[in-house]
Chains A and B, each alone.
Chain A
Amino acid sequence: GDSVTQMEGPVTLSEEAFLTINCTYTATGYPSLFWYVQYPGEGLQLLLKATKADDKGSNKGFEATYRKETTSFHLEKGSVQVSDSAVYFCALSDLRGSGNTGKLIFGQGTTLQVKP
């Protein structure tokens, strides 16, 4: 079945460092790809998404490009802040599968810790 794999965490960076969180996926169809962020004690917030190959999602300085050839959707940010400390989840939703229920399949999450 469809699956999402993220790099192991935690990722610890200094403020203003460059961030990459790797995400690869396996899907039989043509999924939409998402990054969600979970701040401590809070729920899931959509960070960005891409619905087809070569699309770039971006929000709040974060970017990710849908790469069909490498089945990847890596999250990047040029200069992280302490306030970016959170757990980041990569996810996919294959609208053409599962009777179009649109369920999300999540990766295991990557904890980002940014130190001042």
Chain B
Amino acid sequence: EPEVTQTPSHQVTQMGQEVILRCVPISNHLYFYWYRQILGQKVEFLVSFYNNEISEKSEIFDDQFSVERPDGSNFTLKIRSTKLEDSAMYFCASNQLPGGYTFGSGTRLTVV
């Protein structure tokens, strides 16, 4: 069964550093998403991406965040200057049509 692959599984970074979280969506999917889950809390939508542009973003997705699909395979989330409160599990998801998803196993980001 096709999978969404996320790397790394765990990343530790210092406050103020830039991080890039990587995802390889399922190859024939067209819609891509990032979500985050702060420890013990609910899963929150960050951004959706379709046709090489952001189609929707949440209030969380401020100027410190950006997404890119640089080579038609990878889908990346960049945080320019990390804060302690960015520590969370970040999930990538992809979909062929809106509304049905395959999630990756997540990247646990720890900002120290």
Using CB atoms and an 8 Å cutoff, list the residues of chain A in contact with chain B: 32, 36, 42-46, 49, 51, 89, 91, 93, 95, 98-109
Is there contact, CB below 8 Å, between B56 and A101? yes
* A41 to B34 Cα, complex, angstroms: 18
A44 contacts across to B, CB distance below 8 A: 43, 91, 103
Q: Which parts of B25-84 form the interface with A (CB within 8 Å)?
A: 31, 33, 35, 41-45, 48, 50, 55-56
A101 contacts across to B, CB distance below 8 A: 31, 48, 50, 55-56, 98
Sample of 4 further A-B pairs with CB below 8 A, known A101-B98, A102-B99 = A43-B91, A101-B56, A102-B95, A103-B45
Is there contact, CB below 8 Å, between B42 and A43? no
Cβ-defined partner of B42 (8 Å) among A46, A49, A106: A106
Give the secondary structure class of B's interface. Answer: strand
Size of chain B's interface in residues, with CB distance under 8 A?
Answer: 24
Most chain-B Cβ atoms within 10 A of its Cβ — which of A95, A101, A107, A109?
A: A101
> Is B100 on the interface with A (CB-CB < 8 A)?
yes
Is there contact, CB below 8 Å, between A108 and B45? no
Most chain-B Cβ atoms within 10 A of its Cβ — which of A46, A93, A103, A107?
A: A103
CB closest residue in chain A, given B95: A102
8 contacts between A and B (CB under 8 A): A44-B43, A44-B91, A46-B101, A99-B55, A101-B56, A101-B98, A106-B43, A109-B42
A36 contacts across to B, CB distance below 8 A: 103
> Is B7 on the interface with A (CB-CB < 8 A)?
no
Is there contact, CB below 8 Å, between A104 and B45? yes
* A52 to B27 Cα, complex, angstroms: 28
